[in-house]
Amino acid sequence: MSIKKSPFLFNCADLPRRAGEMREFELNIDAPEDFGLPLFKIDPTRPIEIDLTISAVSEGVLATAEVRATAHGECTRCLEPVEEDIDQSFTELFYYQASRPSRSKSSVPEELGEDDSLMMEGDEIDLELPVRDALILNLPLNPLCRPDCLGLCPDCGVKWEELPDDHGESAHPKGDIRWAGLEKLQKELEEK
Ligand SMILES: [Zn+2]
Ligand SMILES: [Zn+2]
């Protein structure tokens, strides 16, 4: 049985375990399917680009990174496709397995909270969590094509901005709903 290796595992064997050592890498990681929010996902057909700097500190490896990816989904009001380029960064400390996190040590940057105690697995660091946080925490739950998107007329499904100003209740008298589809079709034919 083989378990597929996570694309987010990064091997730090090239980095000597001496405080002050530093290495830089440019990574392209294939975004997994379903990486994102239910309505707004990271495009799986494009790589997640990561400019990664790893530095050795006494407790482990400090990873700082710029992360770029594209998210896509549909406008939750008008269903038009929405795309957003994401450019975020993170700093994360991965502890050597031998050294337990201790708050008394001083080389850990203060901005790292006490919960940030990710462990290395041998020479590997798992970038999935920080990458996920950087890309996804800032995504809108309800993506919009524009902040002021007016959405669709609930009766005919046409975008409000494509409808005349006086389009309203009177355009769809109750009981006449069967005409809506025909009217839409007629409109489409006229446009051709
Ligand atoms: Zn919209
Ligand atoms: Zn309508």
Ligand nearest to the CA of 81: 1
What region does 169 belong to: left with phi over 0, alpha with psi -120 to 50, or beta?
Answer: alpha
Q: How far is the CA of 154 from the centre of ligand 2 (A)?
A: 6
Question: CA-CA distances (angstroms) from residue 185 to 30, 90, 157, 161, 179?
Answer: 42, 51, 12, 18, 10
Phi, psi of 5, rounded to the nearest 5 degrees: -75, 135
Q: How confident is the model at residue 179 (pLDDT cuts 50, 70, 90)?
A: low
Q: How far is Cα 55 from Cα 50, in angstroms, rounded to an integer?
A: 16
pLDDT digits (tens, 9 = 90+) for 58-106: 999 999 999 999 999 999 999 999 999 999 999 999 999 875 555 555 4
Ligand nearest to the CA of 162: 2
Q: How far is the CA of 78 from the centre of ligand 1 (A)?
A: 4
Size of the chain, expressed as the number of residues it contains: 192
Q: What is the pLDDT of residue 188?
A: 80
Q: How far is the CA of 142 from the centre of ligand 1 (A)?
A: 11
Q: How far is the CA of 66 from the centre of ligand 1 (A)?
A: 30
Residue 149 pLDDT exceeds 90: yes
Q: How far is the CA of 173 from the centre of ligand 2 (A)?
A: 10
Q: How far is the CA of 113 from the centre of ligand 2 (A)?
A: 52
Q: How far is the CA of 26 from the centre of ligand 2 (A)?
A: 50
pLDDT digits (tens, 9 = 90+) for 10-69: 999 999 999 999 999 999 999 888 899 989 999 999 999 999 999 999 999 999 999 999
pTM: 0.74
Q: How far is the CA of 74 from the centre of ligand 1 (A)?
A: 8
Q: How confident is the model at residue 173 (pLDDT cuts 50, 70, 90)?
A: confident
The pair of three-digit structure tokens given for residue 101, joined into one six-digit string: 């996190």
